[in-house]
């Protein structure tokens, strides 16, 4: 039903020969509100593409550095060996989680004292506190990596509505042209139809890449979060093998 006026105008326009016109000409001759809509869509497009390129570089670096450190960490024989690996590795969310675990161990006195057959160890409550600390550090890294990604979802959902607003304005302009010229020939309806379709096309050109990129980055962010959680479990397992827990 919402497209019925536009289809009616297209039928009227088809009754006459088409007039040569360019998109630039239609833009120049459009009303100020329509121009504002198109400018707003252009700004949203620049914003979304800036975020996409920035996040693409950020995810690529974070994932590459993380994979390299985890691959070396899995070959560590103990915490001292892992510390040397972390010092040589490039900074990443995984090295930050590891550094937070080392800081926790250095600042926490083991609740279970040493005996003749074992060294001092962390208690169950201290291990749970360590897990919470590692989760908090992982969440901090995830939040930093995922910053501005929700803006892509906002642009993807808002742009079609902004384009629809411009489309409605174009249809209104076409009807105003019919009223002024007293007929539905191509000269009367073409400017309004052109700006209406241009606003729709611009909105789709902004919304589709933004929505697609948001889904891709959200999926990569979830996988990154799972990798951090798995690394925390491996870190605790290393402490268990070393007798610290």
Name the nearest CA neighbour of 40 among 197, 148, 152, 163.
163
Phi, psi at 112, each rounded to 5°? -100, 115
Give the distance between the most distant pair of CA atoms in the chain.
Answer: 104
Per-residue confidence at 189, pLDDT binned at 50, 70, 90? low
Domain ranges of the chain: 30-109+120-242
CA angle, 204 as apex, 218 and 186 as ends, to 5°? 175
% of the chain residues with pLDDT over 70 = 76
The pLDDT tens digits for 102-127 are 888 888 777 666 666 666 677 778 88
pLDDT class of 96 with cuts at 50, 70, 90: very high
Contact 245, 236 (CB under 8 A): yes
Question: Is the CB of residue 136 less than 8 Å from the CB of residue 162?
Answer: no
Residues 63, 64, 67, CA angle at the centre, nearest 5°?
A: 80
For 149-178, what is each residue's pLDDT tens digit?
999 999 999 999 998 888 887 777 777 766
CA dist., res. 213 & res. 156, Å (int)? 9
Question: Token pair of 117, please?
Answer: 């057959």
Q: Answer yes or no: are the C-beta atoms of 196 and 174 closer than 8 Å.
A: yes
């Amino acid at each position: 039903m919402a497209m019925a006026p536009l289809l009616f105008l297209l039928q009227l326009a088809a009754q006459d020969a088409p007039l040569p016109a360019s998109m630039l000409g239609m833009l120049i001759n459009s009303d100020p509100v329509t121009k504002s809509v198109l400018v707003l869509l252009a700004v949203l497009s620049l914003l979304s593409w800036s975020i996409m390129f920035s996040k693409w570089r950020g995810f690529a670096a974070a994932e590459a550095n993380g994979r390299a450190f985890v691959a070396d960490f899995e070959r560590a024989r103990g915490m001292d060996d892992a510390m040397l690996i972390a010092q040589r590795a490039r900074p990443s969310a995984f090295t930050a989680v590891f550094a937070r675990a080392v800081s926790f161990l250095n600042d926490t006195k083991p609740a279970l004292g040493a005996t003749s057959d074992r060294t001092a160890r962390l208690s169950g409550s201290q291990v749970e506190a360590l897990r919470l600390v590692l989760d908090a550090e992982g969440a901090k890294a995830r939040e930093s990596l995922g910053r501005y990604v929700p803006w892509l979802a906002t642009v993807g959902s808002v742009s079609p509505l902004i384009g629809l607003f411009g489309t409605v304005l174009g249809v209104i302009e076409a009807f105003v042209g019919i009223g002024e010229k007293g007929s539905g020939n191509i000269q009367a309806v073409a400017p309004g139809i052109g700006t209406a379709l241009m606003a729709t096309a611009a909105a789709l050109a902004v919304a589709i890449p933004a929505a697609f990129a948001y889904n891709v980055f959200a999926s990569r962010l979830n996988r990154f979060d799972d990798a951090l959680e798995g690394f925390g479990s491996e870190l605790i397992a290393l402490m268990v093998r070393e007798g610290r827990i």
